Amino acid sequence: MIRWRLAALLAGSLIAGLGLSACGSSNLSEIQAIDADCGGVSYDGTGKPTKLIVSDLPLKGASAERSRQMNVAITQELADRGWKAGPDIRVAFQACDDTLSSTTEWDADLCRSNAQKYAADPDVIGVIGTYNSGCAAIENPILNRAPGGGIPMVSPGNTFVCLTETASSCKPNEPSVYYPSGARNYVRVVSNDAVQGAGLAAFASEQGVRHPYVLFAANDSTSKGQADTFVDAAKTLGMRIAGESSWIPTSQVADYEALLDSKVKKADADALVLAGQLEQHGAELIRAKVASLGPNDGPVKLFAFDGFAQQATIDNVGPDAKGMYVSLPGKAPGALSGAGAAFVQELRVVIPDNPIEVFAPYAGQAAQVLLDALRSGHTREGTIAQLFKTQVTDGITGSFSITPSGDPTPAPISVSQAADNFVLSRTITPPPQLVDAARGRR
């Protein structure tokens, strides 16, 4: 049933801006707002909340609309649950930002400062975030050692393999470096990049790609890791990699054209694969691709990882985005059924004008998983223990469980194609042997 009270609640603060203002503020005396780059504390239940969930997302720049919708989804799940994790556990919410105004990108120092403030606040029972894996790599070691057995972190967007598992591209101390206490406190509800790389390679193979060139954002371990997973899976499928190199983010389309002419065109590639994010001057890179190599549905097809899987890609690039394929570590909103389809219908009430961003339902799912764990766990340590017992049946994003590594299983990916918005082409669950190959375990 659509909750019109929620629509009224969100039509103000979340729809007009990027933060959450206090609702039902007379009931908030027991919860103090975190002194960080956050909105106000939100609570619309009865009685007084005793626990605080925070989200940590990039709220500025090209990520703004995606993150706004993710916060709407979290709030929606809280409202659907009556702002409770159980009969006597009332939960408030605060949306925090990990981007700088000067760059509109996530910032390592800000991620570190945010995590330190969450760890020091005894009201904080869990963090939903981050979106950027690099930010999670900074925050989680701090949360892992927080008083009370650590703070649980549930990510609706991190895909970096090495946060939870080993791979050929990981450093020797990964993933253990992210868990200095020796115990895990982090789970995610989206597929990691080994699954995404395997699925995207399988889809490219279905499209007849035999000689792809892979570009990744320079000085970005997540982007390089994505590139490696695609390359390893593609080789297993019999593709011959035309080349692999980095792009240095720049606003100059001409610089990108020179890169593509000297690398991709010279290698006679039949596809270009982008591992990175739109925020890394990806719009200019896509325009340069079309100028140098032709339209995306022409002889040289264009594929990209989830950093480009947002409506802002189409809005910022314009006609040159048409025909490109993007992968998503999970199911597209339009492919969700049961509880997921109902949840998306609720989202459309408060987000009537823009397409539902692909990560919004996963933010709602992260909230659902965290609230269910809190219902049985009560404390930080108890909630963490319950997270690793998660068994979801007909949840927002389907049915899945959480493995000991903190990853969901089964783990599908989606591939969509750009038109006026992204249109689902295929949902793929790659076979385990191909995922192992993507991790460099052939």
How is residue 99 written in tokens? 């981007």
Query: Is there a single domain that holds both residue 108 and residue 182?
Result: yes
Give residue 21's pLDDT: 38
The pLDDT of 84-108, averaged and rounded, is 95
> DSSP letter at 92?
E
Residues 151, 233: one domain? no
Q: Which of 166, 158, 165, 161 is CA-nearest to residue 139?
A: 158
Helix (H, G, I), strand (E, B) or coil at 158: coil
3-state secondary structure of 150: coil
- 165 and 202 part of one domain: no
Q: Domain check: are 175 and 99 in the same one? A: yes
Beta bridge partners of 328: 414
Q: How large is the average pLDDT for residues 136-153?
A: 98
Q: How many domains does the chain divide into?
A: 2
Following CA atoms 29, 35, 40, 43 in sequence, which dihedral angle do they give, to the nearest 10 degrees?
-40
Same structural domain, 167 and 205: no
Token pair for 175: 């993933």
Residues 262-282 as b/e (b if ≥16 CB within 10 A, e otherwise) read ebbeeeebbbbbbbbbbbbbb
**What's the chain's average pLDDT?**
91
Domain extent at residue 139: 4-191+333-409
Q: Can you give the pLDDT at residue 62?
A: 86
Question: Out of 21-25, 133-137, 340-344, which region has the weakest mean confidence (pLDDT)?
Answer: 21-25
Partners of 247 in the β-ladder: 217
Residue 405 main-chain phi, psi, to 5 deg? -75, -20
Given a contact cutoff of 8 angstroms between Cβ atoms, the answer to whether 258 and 252 are in contact is: no
Residues 157 and 253 in one domain: no
Find where tokens 């990699």 sit: 241
Across the beta sheet with 422-428, the strand order is 243-247, 212-217, 271-275, 301-304, 325-328, 413-418, 422-428
Residues 146-160: what's their mean pLDDT?
97
In terms of domains, do 351 and 324 share one? no
Identify the band that residue 27 occupies on the pLDDT scale cut at 50, 70 and 90: low
Answer for the pair 194, 438: CB distance below 8 angstroms, yes or no: yes
Same domain, residue pair 177 and 222: no
218 and 163 within one domain: no
pLDDT band of 29, cuts 50, 70, 90? low
pTM, two decimal places:
0.88
Residue 285 has pLDDT above 60, yes or no: yes
Residues contacting residue 352 through CB under 8 Å, at least 6 positions apart: none
**pLDDT for residue 423 is more than 80:** yes
Tell me the two tokens of residue 1.
Answer: 């049933």
Say if residue 20's pLDDT is above 80.
no
Instruction: Assess whether 285 and 434 both reside in one domain.
Output: yes
The pLDDT score that the predictor gives to residue 9 is 45
Mean pLDDT computed over 192-220? 96
% pLDDT > 70, the chain: 93
pLDDT in tens, 295-307: 999 999 999 999 9
Q: Provide the CATH number for the domain around residue 300.
A: 3.40.50.2300
C-alpha to C-alpha distance for 374 and 372, rounded to whole angstroms: 5
- The stretch 139-151 carries a mean pLDDT of 98
State the number of CA atoms in the 13 A half-sphere of 181 facing the CB: 17
User: Sorting pLDDT into bands at 50, 70 and 90, what band is 250?
Assistant: confident
Residue carrying the six token digits 């408060």? 350
- Assigned token pair, 232: 């390893």
- Model confidence at 413, pLDDT cuts 50, 70, 90, reads very high
